[in-house]
Amino acid sequence: MRKIIHVDCDCFYAAIEMRDDPRLADRPLAVGGSADRRGVIATCNYEARAYGVRSAMSSRHALKLCPDLLIVKPRFDAYRAASREIQRIFRDYTDIIEPLSLDEAYLDVSDSTHFSGSATRIAQAIRQRVQEELHITVSAGVAPNKFLAKIASDWRKPNGLYVITPDQVEDFVAALPVSKLHGVGKVTADKLGRLGIGTCADLREWSKLALAREFGSFGERLWNLARGIDNRPVQVDSRRQSLSVENTYDHDLPDLAACLEQLPGLVEELHGRLARLDNSYRPDKPFVKVKFHDFTQTTLEQAGAGRDLESFKLLLSAAFARGARPVRLLGVGVRLIDLRGRHEQLELFER
């Protein structure tokens, strides 16, 4: 049985801002783009969340919800530096680490000898050290697999620790709402609800074949998750091939003009995520993804095109023309070139 820890920093960017400028504490704070430039919220503190402000929300809408909200520009150098320090702490306990972003990661401590192999005590030690050394808080979840560890880390946020032991998996998962399952978005959750499936206990009443008929290949995944089964290993060296941002809209976008209106916010968020990449990657071809109201979708990329707003407008216009129907999801992204192996090869010739 594996021992997996999922560590997730609490409102990471905002926490760093409040740490570095204590005057920002105890007031609604967000990190993101300017409302005047159709900016998007990257993250916010819990004071702002009390007003309904959320990440990926437009800055203009966030200010309507919370007029006293202070929006500060992101400082990615500071966030990357803090992330490196957190990673250093992780490595004191295990080398099997899968970073998901600057502020969260999976750790496999199955074979760790620290604290007599207790994953719970390792998680406690990590949380304590991050707070003492970096003066921010993290939440952690401990479980036999990645799926449950990620859910557990969110169970007692902020600054919490939740443990799901192997003998607790059966009952914990049975009571779990299906909306908590990885990969179940609003559309799938609504479909499950129409089928009378609200919890994993309900889901267990369905056979694997019946779920496959309703949900295709995702049906088998649902069958496994409803039983707490997740055999994915912690990937020590998971290298990205692309980076993207996408959004599913509550109401279908009726035409190209409506789609183009949504583009600036998506592109700004993409640029923010690109700024967080380490220098072992180089952005390459931009692409757009369009999913129409009937769930058909298309992806269009172009070598040599820019990553500016105008270039994405041209790509989106061409992609929309392939279906010319109302749109439920838009995405923008770039393919990535992994420079790490290429750099090592160049050094052989330059010495």
What is the set of active-site residues?
A: 104
Whether pLDDT at 341 is above 60 = no
Has 8 been labeled as part of a binding site? Answer: yes
With a CB cutoff of 8 Å and minimum separation 6, the contacts of 113 are none
Digit-coded pLDDT (tens) for 179-238:
999 888 888 899 999 999 999 999 999 999 999 999 888 899 999 999 999 999 998 865
Of the candidates 46, 58, 35, the residue with the CA atom closest to the CA atom of residue 12? 46
What are the tokens at 261? 């209106």
Domains and CATH numbers, the chain: 4-10+77-167 (3.30.70.270), 13-75 (3.40.1170.60), 170-225 (1.10.150.20), 242-343 (3.30.1490.100)
Digit-coded pLDDT (tens) for 282-337:
899 999 999 998 878 889 998 888 889 999 999 999 999 999 999 999 999 999 98
Cα–Cα distance list, 174 to 181, 187, 189, 201, 270 (Å): 12, 22, 16, 4, 37
**One-character DSSP codes across 195-245:** TT--BHHHHTTS-HHHHHHHHTTHHHHHHHHTTT---PPP-TT---SEEEE
Q: Is 163 exposed, middle or buried (0-12, 13-18, 19+ CB in 10 A)?
A: middle
With a CB cutoff of 8 Å and minimum separation 6, the contacts of 144 are 1, 2, 3, 4, 164, 166, 169, 228
pTM of this prediction exceeds 0.85: no
Which residue reads 């992609």 in tokens? 319
Distance from C-alpha of 173 to C-alpha of 55, rounded to nearest angstrom:
27
Has 21 been labeled as part of a binding site? Answer: no
For the chain, the average pLDDT equals 90
Whether pLDDT at 344 is above 50 = no
**One-character DSSP codes across 270-318:** HHHHHHTS-TTEEEEEEEEEEEETTS-EEEEE-TT--SSHHHHHHHHHH
Whether pLDDT at 349 is above 50 = no
User: In angstroms, how far is CA 190 from the centroid of its own chain?
Assistant: 22
- Least trusted range by pLDDT, from 45-49, 93-97, 295-299: 295-299
